[in-house]
Amino acid sequence: MQGLTPARGRRGISMSKRIGVLLLALVVACAARVPAVGQGASQAIVSIWGLPVRILGSSEAVTSYLSLLLNDSLTAVDGQGNVSGHLAEKYPASPDGKTYVITLRAAKFQDGTPVTARDVKFSYELYLHAKYPTTAPALLEIAGAQEYKAGKAASVSGITVLTPRTIRFILNRPYPYFYEQIGTAPILPEHALLNLDVARLQEAPFVRKPIGAGPYRLVEWREKESMTFEASPDYWGGVPTLKRVVLKLIPEDATVIAELRAGNIDAGRIIPEAYDSFRTDPRVRVLRMPGDTNYWFTMNMKLPFFQDPRVRQAMAYAVNRDEMLRALYRGLGTPVQSPIHPSLWQYDKQLKGYTYDPAKAKQLLAEAGWTPGTDGILQKGGQRFKVKYGFLAGKDYQNQALLIQQYLRAVGIEIDVQGIERGDFFSRYFVPGSPIELVGIAWFNLLFPPQSELEAGFKSTGSVAQISGYNSPEMDRLLDEANATRDRTKQKALYDQIQELVLRDVPRVMTVRPDVIWGVKKTLTLPGEVNSLFAFFRSIAAWQSR
């Protein structure tokens, strides 16, 4: 037995030696640099945080960004909200503002077929169909749209095909935002959607292999992995300089950072904490822009706590927005004083909002009859100022909630913070009639003109206003007037007043708008000013990759 043991040992060693050599070979082979994909052949790999689930009949933000690549519309808005004609070459409005006669330019869909007036009518009738679930309210301004949507008419009477290249829209009233809200609907090819059952829209093959009139064709869609776009040679605006774009789904922030540094992707959104280190990176530069999301918290104005506007204003003074930005976003962002996106012309640059002034906050609270108790928490008539603050579960909301808790405690208001899971939040918590107290949430500003969002938030019939109980006849009037006049100067004046009223009435305390930061390879050149996500995606066609 003894004599055999060394043999056993030898056997064991030689086996593991073989394995060892194999592993070593593997490591050495790994050390060969992975070829950095994305360079050459004018293509870019952009990492994205989510791929769309539905590209038609959807209201996801990602879908609307991708639509900028795939589709085109009669008119389009740029980053500032200014209008230009895309598929529409001539788009005059009648003097009474109710009739628009559109002349289409010679544009083609990505399958080579020309864009005709029939395609335009078809597209709008799809979006207005009774079974189309995400009809934009603005479209209902078209004459006959309501009847069509209700299933009482076979087509929309207000849309008439005049010639193969001209089409006429008639509106119910001189709606001021035809170009921004109605003209921006993507035009789809009728011949690719024949015999469509709108109730089962998502089952149509078109939805997975769309054809649009935009600068890029979708050539490949791998679910939860990537979407590949190729420049369309038929695009009326000229073939895009960037020939191929791959949108790659990378859900983890750390992975995006790592891939950027390794050169495996050409652009990716990065967390603010990584900003400084990428500023000094030899191969990657940073691109900063105001984000789409503005954070705020609202309150239940039917509660005695919040009925007095001084209390609400005090809360607005109590929040240290600069510190929030510094702490949570490395200072990369702006304090929010207006619900309108800062890149839009409606945005009031002169607005003087709430500075950080806890002394003023305390004073206002005292004026409202609240006096500090022995533990520092305010009380009035035997009741302590202690409320529940529910926030949508998520890292940003949670972090902000903790800071807001501190700020409010400093002026004597005690809040209990509680994260509420998404499903619960939207079905039971954040609905009209729900007994909320304070709610922390955020909204995306999609870059339509702000009218619809303002109405949802502040008009007494709006979805959020109904939850908070905000009801101001003055606000309603201002919003209605803004929705009725086509005079831009008058509109601006009205929006200024609206923004000012939002600050005075404080139906919500607005806090911060964090910047969106992209890491972009230095070999990738972006055109001009990119100051919003919308502008970022719109600019892709003009990117150049060395």
Partner 1 sequence: MGAYLVRRVIALVPLLLGVTGIVFALLVLAPGDPVTFLIPPEQRGQADLAEMRHQLGLDRPLPVQYASMMRDLLTGRLRAFSDRRPTIQRVTEALPATLILTATSIVVTVVLATPIAFLSALRPYSLVDHGATLFSLLGISLPTFWFGLGLIFVFTERLGVLPASGLRPAGTSGYDPLVIWPYLVMPTVVQALGILPVLVRYARSSLLDTLGQDYIRVARSKGLRERAIMLRHVARNSLIPVVTVMALLVPFLLSGSVVIETVFALPGVGQLAVNSALSRDYPTVLTTTTIAGMLVVLSNLLADIGYFYLDPRIRHG
Partner 2 sequence: MASRSASLDVLAPSLSAPAAGRRRGPWQRFIRNPRAILGAVLMLLFVVIAVAAPRLAPFPPDRPHIPDVLHPPGGAYLLGADHLGRDILSRIIIASRVSLAIGVLSMLVSIVLGTFMGALAGFFGAHLDGLLMRLTDMVIAIPVFFLTVAFLALFGPSIPGLIWIIGLTAWPPTARLVRAEFLTLRARDFVAAALATGASNARIIIRHILPNVVPVIVISATLRIGLAILTEAGLSFLGLGVQPPRPSWGNIIADGRAYLGIAWWVSLFPGLCVFLAVMAFNLLGDGLRDAFDPKLQI
**Of residues 210-239, those binding partner 1 (CB under 8 A):** 220, 222-226, 228
Beta carbon nearer to partner 2, 271 or 456: 271
Beta carbon nearer to partner 2, 244 or 521: 521
Give the tokens for residue 217.
Answer: 């064709």
Question: Which one, of 260, 257, 259, 256, lies nearest residue 283 by Cα?
Answer: 260
By CB under 8 A, the residues from 306 to 325 that bind partner 2 are 323
Say whether residue 38 binds partner 1 (CB under 8 A): yes
Spatial neighbors of 329 by CB under 8 A, at least 6 apart, are: 272, 512, 514, 515
Give the tokens for residue 125.
Answer: 């009738």
Q: Which does 399 bind (CB under 5 to 8 A by kind): partner 2, partner 1, none?
A: partner 2
From candidates 99, 103, 172, 277, binder to partner 2 by CB under 8 A: 277
Beta carbon nearer to partner 2, 101 or 393: 393
Say whether residue 50 binds partner 2 (CB under 8 A): no
By CB under 8 A, the residues from 462 to 491 that bind partner 1 are 462-463
- Taking the C-alpha atoms of residue 68 and residue 53, their distance in angstroms, rounded to an integer, is 16
Beta carbon of residue 203, minimum distance to partner 1 (angstroms, whole number): 5
By CB under 8 A, the residues from 260 to 279 that bind partner 1 are 261-265
Beta carbon nearer to partner 2, 91 or 430: 430
By CB under 8 A, the residues from 253 to 272 that bind partner 2 are 253-254, 257, 271
C-alpha triplet 218, 220, 225: angle, nearest 5°: 120
By CB under 8 A, the residues from 210 to 249 that bind partner 2 are none
Say whether residue 37 binds partner 1 (CB under 8 A): yes
Tell me the C-alpha to C-alpha distance, in Å, between residue 416 and each of 76, 307, 389, 397, 499: 45, 20, 6, 14, 30
Options 100-108, 185-193, 446-454, 527-535: segment touching partner 1 (CB under 8 A): 446-454
3-state secondary structure 51-93: CCCCCCCCCCHHHHHHHHHHCCECEEECCCCCEEECCEEECCE
By CB under 8 A, the residues from 504 to 543 that bind partner 1 are none
Question: Which one, of 476, 455, 444, 442, lies nearest residue 177 by Cα?
Answer: 455
User: Is 246 within 8 Å of 43 (Cβ atoms)?
Assistant: yes
Say whether residue 361 binds partner 1 (CB under 8 A): no
Question: Which one, of 44, 60, 37, lies nearest residue 227 by Cα?
Answer: 44
Beta carbon of residue 537, minimum distance to partner 1 (angstroms, whole number): 17
DSSP lists the bridge partners of residue 210 as: none
Q: How many residues does the chain have?
A: 546
Q: Could you tell me the end-to-end alpha-carbon distance of the chain, in angstroms, rounded to an integer?
A: 71
Counting residues that bind partner 2 (by CB under 8 A) gives 25
Beta carbon nearer to partner 2, 429 or 458: 429
3-class secondary structure, 237? coil
**Contact positions vs partner 2 (CB under 8 A):** 252-254, 257, 271, 273-274, 277, 323, 326-328, 393-395, 398-399, 402-403, 406, 417, 419, 421, 423-424
